[in-house]
Structure 1
Amino acid sequence: METDPHALDITRLHDGGLALSGELDYATAPELTATVAALPLDQGATLTLDLGQLAFCDSSGLSALLTAYKRVTNLGGRLSVSAIDPNVARMLSITGLAHLFRP
């Protein structure tokens, strides 16, 4: 069985964070939004995202990342990034959002 190269794989990490690999786009962004919405986050929690294997992110993916950021910060927490693909980092920089997704 072949893996869809355009799919998004979300793995729950031992520290409660999420590792994303594949493509975060119009078709897959709702999966990230639903996953983050279902996380049992405590007040003041930190959610760590590993974006090191995220090969592609479009505007819908960016919106899903911002939704995750808002969910965490609305609880008084913070969102941090443990790794980031250079192309995704460039997109965040170009859009002026890189400061929201720092380690």
Structure 2
Amino acid sequence: MDSDAYLIRLSGELDYAVAQELTEVLAASTGRSGVTAIHLDMAAVTFLDATIITVLVHAHQAAARTGRQLRVHGPQGRARRVLDLTGVLLFLSPDTATPDTGPR
């Protein structure tokens, strides 16, 4: 990863209960001097709801307004399926967005 990138590792269930904290973390990382990309490692995320989708979309928009990128990496299982179904994976991880063929 480039030195101008910021990595955030997420895990567990991401829902309304953690949305405000995630919003604050993403806002702080977007405002960091010298950061051109924020990478979210989502390999250990087991669940996410519509609240988190909204947080990710708003964070993506805020990053883009300041010339930065927000990217997700490694979502698995149901979390990946939610990102795929909502179309969010396509613009947050365009290089790896493919239909999830795993169990439903």
**TM-score bin, normalised by smaller chain:** 0.7 to 0.9
CA distance in 1, matches of 2:88, 2:34: 24
Q: Which moved more, 1:83-92 or 1:25-34?
A: 83-92
Deviation at 1:44, TM superposition (A): 7.2
User: Which residue number corresponds to residue 79 of structure 2?
Assistant: 88
Percentage identity across aligned positions? Answer: 30
1:44–1:75 contact (8 Å) kept in structure 2 = no
1:44–1:78 contact (8 Å) kept in structure 2 = no
1:44–1:76 contact (8 Å) kept in structure 2 = no
Match among 17, 25, 37 for residue 46 of structure 1: 37
2:53–2:88 contact (8 Å) kept in structure 1 = no
User: Which residue number corresponds to residue 58 of structure 1?
Assistant: 49
* TM-score normalised over the length of structure 2: 0.74
Greater strand percent: which structure?
Answer: 1
Which 4+ runs in 1 deviate beyond 4 A? none
**5+ residue gaps, structure 1:** 1-14
Matches within 5 A, 1:7-86: 16-39=6-29, 40-42=31-33, 45-86=36-77
After superposition, the CA RMSD in angstroms is 1.9
Q: Which moved more, 1:19-28 or 1:67-76?
A: 67-76
Deviation at 1:64, TM superposition (A): 1.2
* TM-score normalised over the length of structure 1: 0.75
Deviation at 1:77, TM superposition (A): 1.6
User: Which residue number corresponds to residue 10 of structure 1?
Assistant: none
CA distance in 1, matches of 2:77, 2:25: 24
**5+ residue gaps, structure 2:** 96-104
